[in-house]
Chain A
Amino acid sequence: MVHAAKASHIGGCLSMADILAVLYTRILRIDPADPQASSRDRFVLSKGHATAIMYATLAECGFFSLAELDTYCRDGSNFTGHVSHAVPGVEVSTGSLGHGLPIAIGMALAARHDGAGSRVFCLLSDGECDEGSNWEGILFAPHHKLSNLCVIVDFNKIQSFGSVAEVLNLDPFAEKWKAFGWQVEEIDGHDLAALERVLSAVPAASGRPTVVIAHTVKGKGVSFMENKLEWHYRSPSDELLAQALAEVGA
């Protein structure tokens, strides 16, 4: 998709691929045949730029055909370069960072009010934790004991212009969330069993909202992309695409 559309953000797609795989195969109570069921779990992709992997996941789950992915970023397609709610299975459009968490909080409040048993999962990038609106939400959710809310941070350590540590350091990251009152789980974001374990525990027995700090590798699985800032922007050539596909065994 990214190669065909000459699009970007493949690095941040690969860092969260395992997270989406576990969410969509083991965790989320959703039905592609009834995508608007009121009792469904919600998934809010707040790092809306990493949408190629989102669309691909939804296609694999049966929300639409794999062939539709070929329209990604093409004229007239619903498959825009930042995630779009015009695509079946996508709850909300994002792209400007710092929007997803407050929306997810609203969904969690409504779900609790309605007693529907829905859980709300929201995936943030690490760089987007620079946004103040996230910290408004991070303060809010534990105060209201939103245990049906789970934030996952794709902590791949690289943001748009350099490493997170250089641009605007988040550390001590887990301690910040703990201080705000969250149930904090810190795991290897490519460990499928660990992901399933912590995500299955939502809603947390502690009554708190959960944050999963998923330590990931930007460009995971493709040797020349791993931990390389440039793959926030570049689109692979024909040769590099072939190499990448061979490396991930696609």
Chain B
Amino acid sequence: MRTTFIESLSQAASENPDIWLLCGDLGYSVLEPFAAKFPDRYLNVGVAEQNMAGIAAGIALSGKTVFIYSIGNFPTLRCLEQLRNDVCYHGADVKVVAVGAGYAYGSQGYTHHALEDAGIMSMLPGIEVFVPCDPMEVRAATRLIATSGKPSYLRLSRQGEPNLGAAVTDLRKPRVLRDGREVVILASGPIASRALEAAGELSGRGRDVGVVSVSCLKPLDEAAIRDAVRGASLVVTLEEHILRGGLFSLMAGAFAGDAVRPPMTGMGIPEQGGKTSHAGSREALLDAAGLSPSAIVARIEHALAKR
């Protein structure tokens, strides 16, 4: 995802001389191609995220489009007030790009786990929030935010993630990764691959399970999502994020006023359970959080059995 991002950004920057990239002294072996190609529009501001966010706002208010890049919590939570006041209040054209979504930095420990970021970013006024599930969505998201003119948040995992579906036609709309109408899993981020595994397993057990990637958390295309889940006996949300404030909360809020709405269950990282002090790979931590493919299968079978 990181490589796809920087390739897409470099392409956009070659077309638009007003695109800048700032980093907080992170991005080794990722950002160099951009820095080499656009040295006067690339800046490592040092390990100082508040300064980075404020500088980005100042450059953007001078007519530029500014990307800021760092790991998970650093360009988001560390400088949250700068994003709220300096960027969003002024409508400054700043794009926050975080790598290490969820447990992507697994064994690096809790400080490097980005578990609340998407929800918190979603609360800021006027920002657009994208959580792509695969490199194709990263490419589409980078292109989209480079020209949107709006504050944006792009949540990336790390690298090596596979493409999970057909070409992206409209990133703002849900993207069907697997057809299925009885159960629809709405997933955001690369954890969608686990949804696909679970759907395959359930298919062998006679269940018709669809998987839909919801990469645009804000603005949420509620009508398109309703269409995607219409007629389903069960909707499952799946996210590499704590349940509060993320995909599940957004979906629950979207459907809450509907007279007829499908039964819904949310799968994400539990707030206390996410506060792990153990080392572990991303895969192991997701399993421990109850998000293994087999746990997804079990949750769906349990929910269907209760009906």
A residues lining the B interface (CB < 8 Å): 38, 85, 91-96, 98-99, 101-111, 113-114, 132-133, 136-137, 139-140
* B residues 149-196 touching A (CB-CB < 8 Å): none
The verdict on A105 contacting B46 (CB below 8 Å), with A91-B61, A99-B85, A114-B62 known, is no
The reply on B86 being an interface residue by CB < 8 A is yes
In the complex, are the beta carbons of A102 and B62 less than 8 A apart? no
Task: Compute how far the CA of A27 lies from the CA of B96 in the bound complex, rounded to whole angstroms.
Answer: 35
Query: Which of A93, A103, A137, A139 has the most C-beta atoms of chain B within 10 angstroms of its own C-beta?
Result: A103
In the complex, are the beta carbons of A92 and B62 less than 8 A apart? no
Task: Compute how far the CA of A106 lies from the CA of B60 in the bound complex, rounded to whole angstroms.
Answer: 8
- Contacts A103-B86, A140-B48 known; 14 new A-B pairs at CB < 8 A: A91-B61, A93-B89, A94-B85, A102-B54, A102-B55, A102-B86, A103-B54, A106-B55, A106-B60, A106-B61, A106-B66, A107-B61, A139-B48, A140-B51
In the complex, are the beta carbons of A105 and B86 less than 8 A apart? no
What residues of B have a CB within 8 angstroms of the CB of A139 in the complex? 46, 48
The proximity string for B residues 33-76 relative to A, scoring 1 for CB distances below 8 Å and 0 otherwise, is: 00000001101011010111111111111111010000000000
What residues of B have a CB within 8 angstroms of the CB of A102 in the complex? 50-55, 57-58, 82, 86
Task: Compute how far the CA of A98 lies from the CA of B56 in the bound complex, rounded to whole angstroms.
Answer: 15
In the complex, are the beta carbons of A136 and B50 less than 8 A apart? yes
The verdict on A103 contacting B55 (CB below 8 Å), with A85-B90, A109-B43, A113-B40 known, is yes
Task: Compute how far the CA of A65 lies from the CA of B54 in the bound complex, rounded to whole angstroms.
Answer: 31
Q: How far is the CB of A46 from chain B (nearest CB, A)?
A: 10
The reply on B81 being an interface residue by CB < 8 A is yes
Residue of B nearest to A104 (CB): B58
Residue of A nearest to B53 (CB): A102
Q: Can you sample 5 A-B contacts with CB below 8 Å?
A: A92-B61, A103-B86, A109-B43, A133-B50, A136-B46
In the complex, are the beta carbons of B61 and A96 less than 8 A apart? no
Task: Compute how far the CA of A17 lies from the CA of B93 in the bound complex, rounded to whole angstroms.
Answer: 33
In the complex, are the beta carbons of A110 and B54 less than 8 A apart? no
Task: Compute how far the CA of A99 lies from the CA of B87 in the bound complex, rounded to whole angstroms.
Answer: 11
In the complex, are the beta carbons of A105 and B51 less than 8 A apart? yes
In the complex, are the beta carbons of A99 and B54 less than 8 A apart? yes
Task: Compute how far the CA of A137 lies from the CA of B61 in the bound complex, rounded to whole angstroms.
Answer: 18
In the complex, are the beta carbons of A106 and B62 less than 8 A apart? yes
Q: How far is the CB of A233 from chain B (nearest CB, A)?
A: 23
What residues of A have a CB within 8 angstroms of the CB of B81 in the complex? 96, 99
What residues of B have a CB within 8 angstroms of the CB of A136 in the complex? 46, 48, 50-51
Contact of A106 among B40, B48, B57, B89 (CB under 8 A): B57
Q: How far is the CB of A123 from chain B (nearest CB, A)?
A: 15
The verdict on A99 contacting B86 (CB below 8 Å), with A136-B51, A140-B45, A140-B48 known, is yes
